[in-house]
Amino acid sequence: MAKGHARPRGKGKYELEVNLGSYIDPSTGKRKRLREFRTIEAKGQREADKELAKFVAELTEGQYHKIMFVDFVLKEWHPKHAVKTLSSTTLDTYMRYLRLRILPVFSRLRMDQITSVHISDFLDNISEEGMRMDGQEGTLSANAIFFHLRVLNNVFNYAVKRKIIKQSPVKEVDKPRIPKKKVEVYDLQESRLLVEALEKEPLHWRVALKLMITAGLRRSEIYGLDLDKHVDIPNRIIHVEQAMTYTPGNPVDIHPIRKGEEGEQQGQRDIFISSLVIDDLAKLKKYRAAERSTFPVDELWMKGKHNLLLAHEDGTPYNPTGLNKWWGRFIKRHQLKYIKPHALRHTFASILINEGVNAKVVSTQLGHSTTKTTLNIYSHVFRDANEDATIKLDSAISFGGKNEEK
């Protein structure tokens, strides 16, 4: 708690002094006392003390709040914001970037001292040769450099929200250019071949992959899908409400979805079940119910609290690498074009866009935070769809391929 004094200076004037602790001077590395002063006019000591109390509140709660960057990250941002808003895997990645490079660089600076120049210099520095920490030669990827900026942006935006600083210094930083990689997806014919090949595979894998390509579910959402709580066969609805992620410190983390539009139900969405998977889902629910009935409740994983789609007989979740490993074998077995499992979600989106579904609907189906996110990710697909629409329009209003002469 900041402390202060109101000293009389004669002729009705008082000097207010507030001690805000100490800090490390970034230029010298030496510790210095942090004090703020203000001269006021007051009728007496009592009135001066009241003004002092206001000054202390202004300094500790308003724009002059002085706190070290490290302290803010570890004591404010992490426990009060990051833990509550980020998924465990995202938080684990954020903290790794912070510990490796960001915290050491900004350790001697207060929040109010960090400017856009500091951040730009930091990004320039980590862009140089020799900044990799994996033993490989070369520079960090553009994506890795941009991710550092993303972490800083999250920290400083929260600081603005808490009124620790007036404006985020990240706003004035030129963002690194990230070359967009073309994501390999399946076209309609390849998607049909995939669905056909899945008919020969185990029921749970068949359902999981069909849901990825017909509902656009993320892998973490597939792993978090509860057959009892989230699958409504009579109404043909899947309630996408939770995900399961894995981090070194927390091997199985089942949590509400935190991605998507902000609000009480952030990231949660209902998806209509495709006819391609409805029968398989119904079969799997019945099969899993019979399977679980052979176990006493105390022997089921977490005493039967979850009935997950991808789980062993006793309900224990599959290893997180299981889907990827099975996918690799499946692709070879059926001689299909290799794409990453996550690309099935992109395939789902591409099919919707090419079929003329508008961006808002696609965004909602995918659980994106805004339509802008969808447009950014699938800009090339929307571009192609718009070109096809124009060609169709030209064909519809032309006369035998030629303009009618007046």
Both structure tokens of 90: 């995202």
> How far apart are the C-alpha atoms of 348 and 207, rounded to whole Å?
15
pLDDT of residue 359: 84
Q: Which helix (H) or strand (E) holds 77?
A: none
Length of the chain: 406
Q: What does pTM read for this prediction?
A: 0.68
How far is CA 35 from each of CA 20, 60, 66, 112, 179, rounded to the nearest angstrom?
Answer: 6, 12, 10, 14, 47
Neighbours of 13 (CB within 10 A): 13
pLDDT of residue 64: 45
pLDDT of residue 406: 44
> How far apart are the C-alpha atoms of 294 and 165, rounded to whole Å?
59
What are the residues facing 39 on neighbouring strands? 15
Output the DSSP codes for 336-392: PPP--TTHHHHHHHHHHHHTT--HHHHHHHHT-S-HHHHHHHTHHHHHHHHHHHHHH
Neighbours of 43 (CB within 10 A): 8
- Going by C-alpha positions, the residue among 111, 181, 187, 203 that lies closest to residue 152 is 111
Is-contact 242 256, C-beta < 8 A? yes
- Dihedral sign, CA of 356, 212, 341, 265? positive
pLDDT tens for residues 163-222?
A: 888 899 999 998 887 777 777 899 999 999 999 999 999 999 999 999 999 999 999 999
pLDDT of residue 342: 92
DSSP structure class, residue 244: E
Low-confidence residues of the chain, pLDDT below 70? 1-2, 22-29, 60-65, 248-250, 258-267, 380, 382-396, 398-406
pLDDT of residue 198: 96
DSSP structure class, residue 241: -
- In single-letter form, the type of residue at position 306 comes to H
Is-contact 189 181, C-beta < 8 A? no
Neighbours of 77 (CB within 10 A): 23
